[in-house]
Amino acid sequence: MVTETRPAGRSPALTTADSIVYFDGTFMPLRDATVTVATHALHYGTGVFEGIRGYWDDGDDELYVLRLAEHVDRFFRSCAILRIHLPFDRDEMAGLILEVLRRNNYRSDVYIRPIAFKSSQTIKLTLSTLDDGVAIYAFPFGHYAHRDGGLRVCLSPWRRIDDNAIPNRAKVTGSYVNASLASDDAHRGGYDEAIMLGSDGSLAEASSSNIFLVRHGRQVTPTVSENILEGITRDAVLTLAREQLGLEIEERAVSRSELYVADEVFLTGTGVQIEPVTSIDDLPVGSGEPGPIAARLATVYADAVRNKLPAYASWCTPTYAAG
């Protein structure tokens, strides 16, 4: 008899019931911020979200929200694609995010999750005529995916959703079925992450992060037309690579086999930050050790996000000084 194997550890809840969230115009405890089972978005994945990090700095006694304006802007663009109308403008939303953090008095690294969704209680397949709901919550957060010595990843048999199926530029809740299948299979196979190819077989991204290769000292990453999310960390890493490391960058279509001959591979994302990949399908990447370029980028990134590099001070919005 074949038995279904279920990983032993269930994913723990990251929020506590009494943490304060913003929900449809007011602040309330998380336990009260609920929707009904008839909600359109629950049935059809008709929501959009953001993932934002805040970095606590002991020396400054401050919680810096990383690239807040860029995340808010992408949220608005995602909403436009799903025809969601928000009850606030970009500046007001940035203010609400900071207010959620202040009301919880977070003094640690945090992850912030804004979500907007079709809230009507209907089974009709439509978007424009439906009501919209919106919430913002946050929770203390450390590593998303990390392994000392680098991540062990696999190439997923699941293909990355095509932009003509669900727009990749939007962070649509429903599209994360694709990412979750890839990621769950990878975890069940003992890997840390899944790398996904597009339907044409070229490299796209990992389940929730963008991918970079180092080849002949140049940094290579799929272009934004390769069915990827336009990652904000991807943009930060491109900037830091050019400005701080003086690297040449190639944004282009990347073939699968380039992964096998790359000197380095690493992932970038709000959650994952910058994590080296040291094996793909159990084959070593480069030397099989975390590479020097990823390490240097991770060091400057760690300084930039805690407002230690004046050139990138505009990336860091203080939570408490602004209050």
Binding site for ligand PMP (CB under 6 A): 51, 179, 205, 208-210, 229, 231-234, 269-270
Q: Which residues pair with 288 in a beta bridge?
A: none
Which residue, chain included where needed, has tokens 């809230």? 119
Structure tokens at 250: 């190639």
Taking a C-beta distance cutoff of 8 angstroms, is the pair 267, 151 a contact? yes
Q: Which helix (H) or strand (E) holds 269?
A: strand 264-269
Q: Please provide the distance, in angstroms rounded to a whole number, between the alpha carbons at the two ends of the chain.
A: 61
Burial group, residue 157, by CB count within 10 angstroms (0-12, 13-18, 19+) = exposed
- Residue 231: CB minimum distance to ligand PMP, A: 3
- What secondary structure does DSSP assign to 132-165, as a single string? EEEEEEEEE---SS--TT-EEEEE-SSPPPPTTT
Give the nearer residue to ligand PMP in terms of CB position, either 46 or 208.
208
Q: Which is nearer to ligand PMP, 202 or 208 (CB)?
A: 208
Q: Which residue in the list 118, 124, 171, 308 is annotated as catalytic?
A: 171
Of 18 and 200, nearer to ligand PMP (C-beta) is 200
124 included as an active-site residue: no
Closest to ligand PMP by CB, 120 or 175: 175
Please say which residue, 19 or 208, places its beta carbon nearer to ligand PMP: 208
d(CA 318, CA 308): 13
Q: How far is the CB of 86 from ligand PMP (least distance, A)?
A: 19
Q: Which is nearer to ligand PMP, 98 or 229 (CB)?
A: 229
- φ, ψ of residue 18 to 5 degrees: the values are -100, 10
User: Nearest to residue 60, comparing CAs of 280, 305, 301, 240?
Assistant: 305
Helix H or strand E encompassing 265: strand 264-269
Pairing of strands 151-155, 52-57: unpaired
Q: How far is the CB of 160 from ligand PMP (least distance, A)?
A: 8
Distance CA 179, CA 269 (A): 14
Q: Shortest gap between Cβ of 95 and ligand PMP (angstroms)?
A: 21
For residue 117, the SS3 value is strand
Shortest distance, CB of residue 76 to ligand PMP, whole angstroms?
A: 14
Integer Cα distance of 2 and 74 in angstroms? 45
Catalytic residues, by residue number, are 171
